[in-house]
Amino acid sequence: MAEATVPRIDWQAIERDPRFHALHTRKTRFLWGLMVFSIVFYFLLPIGAAYTPGLFATRVWGPVNVGLLFALAEFVVAWSIAFVYSRRANTEFDAMADELVREAEKIGGWP
Amino acid sequence: MNRLLAFGLLAALAAVSVPALAQGAVHEEFRWLTFVVFGAIIALTMYVTFLAAKRVKSAADFYTAGGGVSGLQNGWAIAGDYLSAASFLGIAGLISLYGYDGFMYSVGWLVAYITVLLVIAEPCRNIGKYTLADILAYRNNPKATRIVGAISVITVSTFYLTAQMVGGGVLVKTLIGIDYEISVVVVGILMLGYVLFGGMVATTWVQIIKAILLVIASILLVMFVWTPYGFSLPAFLQAVVGDAKVQAQVAALLGDAARNMTPEQLGQRFLEPGLYFKAPIDQISLGMALVFGTAGLPHILMRFFTVPTAKEARKSVIWAMAIIGGFYVLTLFLGMGAAIDVGPAQIRAIDPGGNMAAPLLAQYVGGGADSMLGNLFLAFVAAVAFATIVAVVAGLVLAAASAMAHDLYVGVIRSGHVTAMEQVRAARIATVFVGAVAIVIGILAKGQNVAHLVALAFAVASSANFPCVLLTLYWKRCNTGGIVLGMIVGTLAAILLVLVSPNMTYPLAAKAAQEKIVATQTANLERLQGELAAAGEPAAQEKAQAAIAAAEKVKALAEARIREIGDARTSLMGLEKPLFELRNPGLVSIPLGFLAVVLGSLLYRDRRSEEMWGELYVRQNTGILAAKASAH
């Protein structure tokens, strides 16, 4: 099994590494920011539908009303969050993590 | 083993073609078409299983396809795993009957994946191996957390599984008239064939095939529905607003409130909120269970162990979001299209929950109930629905079996001291056991209302699994005490709150409702008798007689129901009325689950949880060792 041959790695040393600290800080801020935004935006839909039915019923484009556009916007926003996150992760976070993976080989006794 | 597989295929085909046929949405003379389409799909999936069976040698192959699934493949498989019959047929049905509210409901099912994408998928890939409990056991007491984790996984999977088995049996019966018990056994045997022989490799491919078929069917239907309106959204919705069947449905839903509305206003009301969801708090509670529960569904989490790296896990969620979201946008057209082409009244006549909206729409766009093409379309959609149930059930059985074999047997009973051969054997035995239980439960639960079981599965997943997984990954002070307490409190809170909620049957209220129906129908009958007496022409007489017959039928049904209730006064829990007013417990049980993890962690000291934190946190963020482990 893989576990049997796992090399010893000084995890505490990596945790203290300024590069890990930078990765962790940036990721945390970015991820939880997006998370809070997406949850607030999602719950605006049922709350709005329940408490501002007049606004949701306002017609803007033929029979298309604010409520329908808002529901469609939920899809667009969800996809946008996925896009924004994956772009940043693919470029920035992955590069930072890869560097740490290579560094871990140097610190610990990776065979 | 391949001979066994061939035997299973023959047995399944023979069972499908057993002429135990009653009525169904498909006409008798076209039923052979359905079997041709079903047969083709079963043959394709069995062929894939046959190929997969050669590749399944180790426990890693069986549980996670050896970590060799690509992000794109996994994205389709997640969509195939997630778009169960409840969401595929159910949401289209809700839209066809209630308009806007049905569409609004679908949003939560997509937004749920933001939680999965941002905080769950990649860390789980980086530190997990086969099961949800692997993540919990990483820094906490392995035996204690494996036990509570496995129990919760088995609970969630069983709820979901029961809903799928019963829903599947009813669906196949409604569509093609095969007996309920036979459908349940066929679904069970097919699923066992895929999982037992092909493990996760075959399950993944069955889910991919099903998702592709589902997307093709939906796109085709939407093309047919939308083309007459030149692919214009306002023109299409204008047709919905102006449709007499839709207007009649809104008038029926609103009752007295619709009296002073013009037909145009009634039609427009279909595109506004409030026809289905009456209690906003309940809806928010349901939204919470969806948005946080998906990230705690064991069969979804398990899919992230099948990809080699965190980057592929991310890619798979992105693909899954594109497919799932695109599908839900299409359901807006499927549902609205069914409302104008088939009509809410006819959809309700075949299934009161609206589940037949998409299949009936397929029949309509193909040329109707008497046409060859119409029935071919219906057969195709029916086959997709059937493949859906099998694919979802396969994923669930794999998740439950892995919790039993990997967590409870290998991890707890044998303390991890097993050979590779024993691991695979344990996995297969657990699969047969779970599959057999699923078939038995499916047959025993015949006729039960299981719709709320899916909601209950989401409630437990969001109140127990999600807080535990999230906090062990991100909170330094989280420990064994928190995980054990969180799992117990979250699971119990969700289940107990549902048991005392309006979801249960309350004989007194049910009786009162039926008595009201009897009273209105009695008054109705008196009026109709008067009309019959006054009617001169034979046509008018006939019409009045038909109305009387219909009213008498409704009255007799209600009276039968009252006799059935008898002298019962209290629900299963001994209550005369609900103690807890929300249909979905999420609003209360999710915070309780989080609170329990926090309190349990603060009150308990666990040196291992503290010492392992640095390692876990570095690994979940960087993926050090993850790629290496999966290369084996």
Tens of pLDDT, residue by residue over B96-112, are: 999 999 999 999 999 99
Q: Can you tell me the distance from the alpha carbon of B454 to that of B503, in angstroms, rounded to the nearest whole number?
A: 12
| Shortest CA gap A109–chain B (Å) | 12
Predicted confidence at residue B22, as pLDDT, reads 44
Output the CA torsion sign for B206, B207, B210, B212.
negative
Amino acid at A16: R
C-alpha span between B306 and B55 (Å, rounded): 14
Q: With 90 as the cut, is the pLDDT of residue B592 above it? A: yes
Mean pLDDT to the nearest integer, B365-377: 85
Does residue A3 lie in a domain region?
A: no
**If pLDDT is split at 50, 70 and 90, which confidence band does B4 have?**
low
Q: What is the pLDDT of residues B396-445, one digit of tens each?
A: 999 999 999 999 999 999 988 888 888 889 999 999 999 999 899 889 88
**Tell me, what's the pLDDT at B313?**
93
pLDDT band for position B537 (cuts 50, 70, 90): confident
Average pLDDT over residues B300-321: 93
Q: What's the rounded Cα separation, in Å, for the pair A2 and B124? A: 18
Domain extent for A72: 16-107
| DSSP assignment of B224-255 | HHHGGGTT-HHHHHHHHHT-HHHHHHHHHHHG
Is residue A84, in this structure, part of any structural domain at all?
yes
Please tell me the least confidently modeled range out of A91-95, B317-321, B401-405, B473-477.
A91-95
Q: State the pLDDT at residue B627.
A: 56
- Record: contact B272-A67, CB cut-off 8 A: yes
For residues B302 and B287, is the Cβ–Cβ distance under 8 A? no
Average pLDDT of the segment spanning B130-156: 93
Indicate the pLDDT class of residue B505, thresholds 50, 70 and 90.
confident
| pLDDT tens figures, B7-36 | 554 455 444 444 444 456 666 777 788 888
pLDDT of A72 > 90? The answer is yes
β-partners of residue A49 are none
| Amino acid present at B89 | L
Instruction: Compute the distance between CA of residue B511 and CA of residue B569 in angstroms, rounded to an integer.
Output: 9
What the block records as the tokens of B373 is 């093409």
Mean pLDDT for B347-354 is 82
pLDDT, position A107: 62
Tally of domains within chain A: 1
Higher pLDDT, A24 or B20: A24
Average pLDDT over residues A64-90: 94
- Between positions 50 and 69 of A, the ones with CB within 8 A of B are 50-51, 53, 56-57, 59, 61-65, 67-68
Alpha-carbon distance of B189 to B435, in angstroms, equals 8
Is residue A6 domain-resident? no
pLDDT at residue B504 greater than cutoff 70: yes
Q: Which residues of A touch B237 (CB under 8 A)?
A: 62-64, 68
Q: Of A20, A50, A82, which has the smallest distance from its Cβ to B117's Cβ?
A: A82
Work out the mean pLDDT of chain B and round it to a whole number.
87
Set of chain B residues whose Cβ sits within 8 Å of the Cβ of A1: 632
B165-191 residue pLDDT tens = 888 888 788 777 788 899 899 889 988
Q: Which residues pair with B505 in a beta bridge?
A: none
Mark yes or no for CB contact B280/A11 under 8 Å: no
What average pLDDT does the segment B465-489 reach?
95
Residue B25's pLDDT is 65
Q: How far apart are CA B246 and CA B252, in angstroms?
A: 10
Whether residue B595 lies within 8 A of chain A, CB to CB, comes out as: no
Contacts of A27 in chain B (CB under 8 A): 621
Q: What value does the mean pLDDT take over residues B437-458?
A: 83
Alpha carbons within 13 angstroms on the beta-carbon side of residue B396 total 29
A3, A11, A78: residue with CB nearest B614:
A11
What letter would DSSP give residue B445?
T
Give mean pLDDT, residues B517-529.
Answer: 86
The pLDDT score that the predictor gives to residue B3 is 52
B66 contacts B56 by C-beta, under 8 angstroms: no
Predicted complex ipTM: 0.90
Q: Is residue A1 part of a domain?
A: no
Q: What residues of chain A lie within 8 A of the CB of B129, using their CB?
A: none
To the nearest 10°, report the CA torsion of B608, B613, B614, B616: 110
d(CA B160, CA B82): 11
Query: Token pair 């890869």 is at which residue?
Result: A98
Residue B75 has pLDDT above 90, yes or no: yes
pLDDT at A5: 52
The pLDDT of residue B621: 87
Residue type, B332: L
For the packed helices B357-365 and B85-98, what is the interaxial angle rounded to 10 degrees? 80
Confidence of residue B315 (pLDDT cuts 50, 70, 90): very high
